[in-house]
Amino acid sequence: MSEPKSHQWQPDSWQQKQVSQQATYPDAEALQAALTQLSVLPPLVTSWEINTLREHIAEAQQGKRFILQGGDCAESFSDCTPPIITNRLKVLLQMSLVLLHGLHQPVTRIGRFAGQYAKPRSSDTETIDGVSLPSFRGDLVNSPEFNLISRTPDPQRLLQGHSCSALTMNFVRALVDGGFADLHHPEYWDLGWVQHSQLADEFRRLADSIGSSLHFVEAISGRQAGSLRRADFYTSHEALHLPYEQALTRQVPRQEGWYCLSTHFPWIGMRTANLDGAHVEFFRGIRNPIGIKIGPKMDTDWLQELIRVLNPENEAGRIVLIHRMGVENIESDLPPLIEAVQAMQTPVLWMSDPMHGNTETVANGVKTRRFRKIRGELKKAVRIHRDMGTHLGGMHLELTGENVTECTGGARDLNEGDLSRAYKSSVDPRLNYEQALELAMQLVSIQAGKR
């Protein structure tokens, strides 16, 4: 039976649905002009890269690969600079090497970058001293300064977002192609923090053994170990701004269906996952693998229906469930969802986001996250999956390669007083370079059942 017309998917069929978390542009013609221009510009990624990533995710679903996803909560256009891009790539590569070595599995790296420019907000407007202005929705939409001009959504930003994404991608591809080899050798890593960790000896042994295996591989192959092939790095962002995503959703010669070519791996955020909403409609028609954030509000019927709508053919490599429950909720809230998915007998990848359920606000309204809780949620996630006969196949983090002080704890035991020293995020608090690398080492230790 063919689908009734109202249910046929098109890149714009989401427009028939209730759409949440969108910007209101004052000039509809200017928006249309920008979208028309966007729709003929080159895409940011290719369909064959997307298909390869789908295969990687399918392997991770079978427990044969681990997926590491990380980057800023929100990228900003002003962070589109060589040092910031290089440092973020560096920490992700180093973490992936720790995981590769410690988990004895291939690791696929997905950056939360080259397009993570749109943010969901709890309110459409922000009021300060009696003045109400549109909320800041990410650099793709408006600018954070609290004045009318900055906060008015500007369609030219869609083109700027595309350019910054392309510049980031271009630089990442060049770095990755060039080998980036020194970053693979622990002797070049910044490991000063290790001595402060309770697990100092264990971490030092891990770094030494990564170093010696790399030297061994180089000696027998005559090549630099870890020189990465171009296909080894993928991008992701929350596909929130639907007009932007639609303009980059294309048909590709000799491939079936439509690909969202703004990124390899788009995800649906917690706030836009309603079943009859526009985001779910958009996602159901694209060929990309897709992430679904699931928090304590998700129930079993809702999750089962989402999976049915988004993956009706039970394709492998299509669905990644990114759970972000919080260390206090995960034991009560995750198991029923795992059971509900098990009952469907459909392939999914379970990934832990130990960041978003553990955000707290401390003095002066500053948002932070405690390393102990982040690690705690990760550890519980590993155990719950093991007990239930599933497995944790990926980790989703907010991190930066810079030496910021946004999350407390970690080997250097940052405290609330340290937060003001280098707090740079305008949205969620990120793990810094050392904390990110430490968490990768902690995961190895957790998986080995040592801690």
CA distances from 432 to 70, 203, 429 (A): 12, 18, 9
* Beta-bridge partners for 156: none
Nearest distance from C-beta of residue 269 to ligand PEP, angstroms: 3
Shorter beta-carbon distance to ligand PEP: residue 69 or 168: 69
Contact characters 328-347, Co ion, x per CB under 5 A: --------------------
Is residue 406 near Co ion by the rule CB under 5 A?
A: no
Contact in structure between 390 and 383 (CB atoms under 8 Å): no
Nearest distance from C-beta of residue 197 to ligand PEP, angstroms: 27
Among positions 73, 85, 292, 436, the unique one binding Co ion when judged by CB under 5 A: 73
From start to end of 121-210, where are the E strands?
125-128, 131-134
Q: What is the distance between the alpha carbons of residues 184 and 211, in angstroms, rounded to a whole number?
A: 8
- Of 267, 332, 323, 316, residue with least CA distance to 295: 323
Alpha helix ranges (H) inside 268-401: 278-284, 300-310, 330-344, 371-388
Q: Closest residue (Cβ) to ligand PEP?
A: 269
Residues that contact Co ion, how many (by CB under 5 A):
2
Shorter beta-carbon distance to ligand PEP: residue 69 or 197: 69
Among positions 88, 264, 284, 293, the unique one binding ligand PEP when judged by CB under 6 A: 293
Q: What is the distance between the alpha carbons of residues 81 and 297, in angstroms, rounded to a whole number?
A: 38
Residues that contact ligand PEP, how many (by CB under 6 A):
8
* Beta-bridge partners for 233: 109
Shorter beta-carbon distance to ligand PEP: residue 66 or 267: 267
- Of 177, 176, 194, residue with least CA distance to 186: 194
- Check residue 81 and report its DSSP letter: S
Conformation bin of residue 358: beta by default, left when phi > 0, alpha when psi is -120 to 50: alpha
Is residue 296 near ligand PEP by the rule CB under 6 A?
A: no
Q: What is the distance between the alpha carbons of residues 316 and 150, in angstroms, rounded to a whole number?
A: 44
Of 312-371, binders to ligand PEP (CB under 6 A) are: 324, 356
Contacts of 66 (CB under 8 A, 6+ apart): 60, 99, 103, 105, 106, 107, 108, 393, 394, 395
Shorter beta-carbon distance to ligand PEP: residue 71 or 243: 71
Shorter beta-carbon distance to Co ion: residue 375 or 396: 396
Is residue 270 near ligand PEP by the rule CB under 6 A?
A: yes
Segment interacting with Co ion, rule: CB under 5 A, options 123-131, 216-224, 330-338, 425-433: 425-433
Shorter beta-carbon distance to ligand PEP: residue 184 or 324: 324
Shorter beta-carbon distance to ligand PEP: residue 155 or 357: 357
Which does residue 44 touch among ligand PEP, Co ion, none (CB within 5 to 8 A, set by kind)?
A: none
Of 109-128, binders to ligand PEP (CB under 6 A) are: 120
Nearest distance from C-beta of residue 395 to Co ion, angstroms: 15
Contact in structure between 374 and 407 (CB atoms under 8 Å): yes
Nearest distance from C-beta of residue 240 to ligand PEP, angstroms: 9
Contacts of 396 (CB under 8 A, 6+ apart): 69, 70, 112, 291, 322, 324, 351, 352, 353, 355
Contact in structure between 382 and 406 (CB atoms under 8 Å): no
Among positions 333, 428, 434, 438, the unique one binding Co ion when judged by CB under 5 A: 428
Helix (H, G, I), strand (E, B) or coil at 132: strand
Among positions 115, 134, 226, 269, the unique one binding ligand PEP when judged by CB under 6 A: 269
Nearest distance from C-beta of residue 281 to ligand PEP, angstroms: 18
Nearest distance from C-beta of residue 81 to ligand PEP, angstroms: 22
Q: Which residues contribute to the site for ligand PEP (CB under 6 A)?
A: 73, 120, 269-270, 293, 324, 356, 428
Q: Which residues contribute to the site for Co ion (CB under 5 A)?
A: 73, 428
